[in-house]
Amino acid sequence: MVIDCHGHYTTIPKRFEEYRRLQVAACTCGQPAPVLPAMASDDELRESVEGAQLQRQRDRGTDLTIFSPRALGMGHHLGDAKASQEWTVLCNDLIHRLCQLYPQNFAGVCQLPQSPGVAPANCIPELERCVRELGFIGCNLNPDPSGGWWTDPPLHDKWWYPLYEKLVELDVPAMIHVSGSCNPHFHATGAHYINGDTTAFMQFLTSGLFKDFPTLKFIIPHGGGAVPYHWGRYRGIAQDMGLPPLKELLLDNVFFDTCVYHQLGMELLLKVIPARNILFASETIGAVRGVDPETGHYFDDTKRYVDAADFLSAADRELILSGNARRVYGRLAA
Amino acid sequence: MVIDCHGHYTTIPKRFEEYRRLQVAACTCGQPAPVLPAMASDDELRESVEGAQLQRQRDRGTDLTIFSPRALGMGHHLGDAKASQEWTVLCNDLIHRLCQLYPQNFAGVCQLPQSPGVAPANCIPELERCVRELGFIGCNLNPDPSGGWWTDPPLHDKWWYPLYEKLVELDVPAMIHVSGSCNPHFHATGAHYINGDTTAFMQFLTSGLFKDFPTLKFIIPHGGGAVPYHWGRYRGIAQDMGLPPLKELLLDNVFFDTCVYHQLGMELLLKVIPARNILFASETIGAVRGVDPETGHYFDDTKRYVDAADFLSAADRELILSGNARRVYGRLAA
């Protein structure tokens, strides 16, 4: 079995995107919010994923996608806290309906109703609803709800602790995933995403967060940002700071996905990071949509790169393709 | 011959650091600035580098270091524009004196008197002084003088154009190098440095900057941040945007150094990026100071990693170790 731990609902029907546009515009202009759209019909939902995510699953031989709302669409920096709450509920309900329609293909991960300047404890009710009532198995946590200005406290700050306590209680991991950027310095998928990953890793490295939460689990997507490429740098920085080896310091709590879109990058990840810390993922359909002219295959067909890494043992391959996902997403088996 | 294109004067005598501390404190408290310290004596300068950078050159078999003031020490976000100007002149003068003392060992690269909110055109007089009067061959350009808040315009903005015009006129490249971070999200050498590199690359990728400046040259340090590891992602993003292949789009203008502190990371860089775009560098003595217990050698002894990459042709090795530096730093030969 192959579990892809990182898929987003990037093919949401247009009318929901239009609602969001009007909702954000209403916040900005002080006009009344638009009417909440009716839930998508089964046909509408099927149409949105059949030729897209589900087709790719079949084409690539992946079985289950751990599926969450579109990351760029979260837009925690847009509108206000109330708009974020309403939009989040709507997005999570759509994921839930898809998981009901395709229980063999999708397992739900929720968006959180974050908003810059608002304490993350506000996310607890929606997290509980998604996990306890809708059967979701994880959440996406945005380390920068300001959208590129990084104005809220870092991830090791007590600001986040109530949410972490709930994650531990519910036994669900969080994928660290920024949303869009309204800072002109940061291209969203090319800079802000990767920087967010690298930044989160260093926040974990320099803090005692996992002393306080020994069972808290984070997935750092996009192959861990820059981290595996600079693994020597991070090992050296930790050593210079008098910290224990990274394996001891972090690797019971921090995991990397395989969203790296070329063979040599994937092989670096697989060689540098212990197999038990790597979860297969493709972020399909996501940041890179095209076919690589050098290979004739989709850039984001990451399974091909893993398949071609012939140095992996059968046991390690099994961990990466599904075993680790089952362990890290403790509610997946249920 | 081996040219290390990335060395900083991290061993500056303490009295200059103390002056800087008082200078910044004076800005904050509105007190008069401290008296500018006397220039370092030859003995003081020798003592600061003999057992340090020069010893490492001898130990590692590198010949010439392209040498600039300490990057963390630039602190463009500290004090004010006048303080930045005075500190920059002092730092550059120290580099100049070292280059005079050790003309075979050091070639100078200058710090710029940047300050957040101040147009970079203010850097032109100091750049001209360093290049024309002191014989410097390049500069370090901080893409975020705010120190982690990214509040000035991005690198493709016309805000930067007068400085670029001068770089082109003088035939000197700029290394993109942030300084410290006062944003609690960003660990300086572990996150802000690497994020700055990745961010700059995406700013180059998404802009037509090199249409306006076809001969402008930038070195992205720290192995190009996350870029080579995610080369497939960047090729795919460019393709999705309808841009030409990265080689055509950027690689006459953008170069990566080899500050990657483990063998597998270095090999990725050397295999993914064309040899003519890679400049040997170690950033010694810099961000990572310790010895890797796995190898028994300094993490930042990057020459060992390059030497061990036996797939490099002799011609490519020569380009990486010195040929590219001679070409990119057009004034080096002189």
Chain A residues touching residue B201 (CB < 8 angstroms): 191
Q: Does B301 touch chain A (CB under 8 A)?
A: no
Per-residue tokens: A46: 């099927």
In Å, how far is A110's CA from the nearest CA of chain B? 24
Q: Does A148 touch chain B (CB under 8 A)?
A: yes
pLDDT of residue A33: 85
- A:256-295 residues touching chain B, CB 8 A cutoff: 260-262, 264-265, 268, 271-272, 287-290, 292-293
pLDDT of residue B170: 98
pLDDT of residue A31: 81
DSSP string, B254-274: EEEE----SHHHHHHHHHHS-
Handedness of CA B325, B329, B331, B332 (dihedral sign): negative
- Rounded CA Rg of chain B: 19
Record: contact B226-A229, CB cut-off 8 A: yes
Q: Does A154 touch chain B (CB under 8 A)?
A: yes
- B:169-208 residues touching chain A, CB 8 A cutoff: 183-187, 189-191, 194-195, 198-199, 201-203, 205-206
Three-state DSSP state, B301: coil
Please calculate the CA angle A110-A161-A217 and round it to the nearest 5 degrees.
55
Q: What is the pLDDT averaged over residues A100-114?
A: 98
Find the DSSP H helices in chain A: 14-29, 42-49, 55-60, 71-74, 81-101, 124-128, 161-170, 193-205, 209-212, 231-240, 246-250, 263-272, 302-308, 314-318, 324-328
Record: contact B265-A230, CB cut-off 8 A: yes
Please calculate the CA angle A302-A140-A287 and round it to the nearest 5 degrees.
40
In Å, how far is B267's CA from the nearest CA of chain A? 9
Record: contact A230-B185, CB cut-off 8 A: no
Q: Give the C-alpha separation, B35 to B38, whole Å.
A: 9
Q: Give the C-alpha separation, A46 to A41, whole Å.
A: 9
pLDDT of residue B31: 81
Give the phi and the psi of residue A245 in degrees, each rounded to 5.
-55, 150
Q: What is the pLDDT averaged over residues A88-98?
A: 98
Find the DSSP H helices in B75-229: 81-101, 124-128, 161-170, 193-205, 209-212
pLDDT tens for chain B, 334 residues long, are 999 999 999 999 999 999 999 999 999 887 888 999 999 999 999 999 999 999 999 999 999 999 999 999 999 999 999 999 999 999 999 999 999 999 999 999 999 999 999 999 999 999 999 999 999 999 999 999 999 999 999 999 999 999 999 999 999 999 999 999 999 999 999 999 999 999 999 999 999 999 999 999 999 999 999 999 999 999 999 999 999 999 999 999 999 999 999 999 999 999 999 999 999 999 999 999 999 999 999 999 999 999 999 999 999 999 999 999 999 999 998 7
Please tell me the total number of residues recorded for chain A in this structure.
Answer: 334
As beta bridge partners, residue A298 has: A291
Chain centroid, CA A302 distance in Å: 16
Q: Quick check: pTM over 0.90?
A: yes
In Å, how far is A190's CA from the nearest CA of chain B? 6
Per-residue tokens: B91: 């730092």
Q: Is A220 exposed, middle or buried (0-12, 13-18, 19+ CB in 10 A)?
A: buried
pLDDT of residue A80: 95
pLDDT of residue B333: 83
Chain B residues touching residue A230 (CB < 8 angstroms): 194, 222-223, 260-261, 265
Place of tokens 């690269």: B109
Among the partner-chain residues B199, B240, B288, the one whose CB lies closest to the CB of A288 is B240
For residue A290, count other CB atoms closer than 10 A to its CB: 15
Q: Give the C-alpha separation, A83 to B115, whole Å.
A: 38
Span of A89-98, A167-176, A325-334, B292-301 with lowest mean pLDDT: A325-334
Three-state DSSP state, B219: strand
pLDDT of residue A151: 98
In Å, how far is B193's CA from the nearest CA of chain A? 10
Q: Give the C-alpha separation, A239 to B159, whole Å.
A: 40
The answer to whether A16 and A90 are in contact (CB under 8 A) is yes
Q: Give the C-alpha separation, B259 to B283, whole Å.
A: 6
Three-state DSSP state, A206: coil
Q: Which residues contact B63 (CB under 8 A, 6 or more apart)?
A: B1, B2, B3, B57, B104, B105
Please give the single-letter amino acid code of residue A179.
S
Catalytic, out of A133, A283, A294, A318: A283
Record: contact A202-B186, CB cut-off 8 A: yes
Place of tokens 């990351």: A71
Q: How far apart are the first and last CA of chain B?
A: 16
Which ipTM value was assigned to this complex? Answer: 0.98
For residue A334, is pLDDT > 80?
no
Q: Give the C-alpha separation, B187 to B181, whole Å.
A: 7
What pLDDT, in 10s, does the model give residues A194-208?
Answer: 999 999 999 999 999
Q: What is the pLDDT averaged over residues A63-70?
A: 98
Record: contact A190-B236, CB cut-off 8 A: no
Please calculate the CA angle A232-A235-A237 and round it to the nearest 5 degrees.
105
Chain A residue whose CA is closest to B233: A261
pLDDT of residue B30: 79
What pLDDT, in 10s, does the model give residues A149-165?
Answer: 999 999 999 999 999 99
For residue A121, is pLDDT > 80?
yes
pLDDT of residue B188: 98
DSSP string, A247-316: HHHHTTTEEEE----SHHHHHHHHHHS-GGGEE-----SSS--SEETTTTEETT-HHHHHHH-TTS-HHH
Q: Give the C-alpha separation, B77 to B180, whole Å.
A: 8
- A297-298 and A291-292 as β-strands: parallel, antiparallel, unpaired? antiparallel
Q: What is the pLDDT averaged over residues A13-41?
A: 93
Top residue of B150, B155, B185, B234 to mutate, by most chain A CBs within 10 Å, is B185
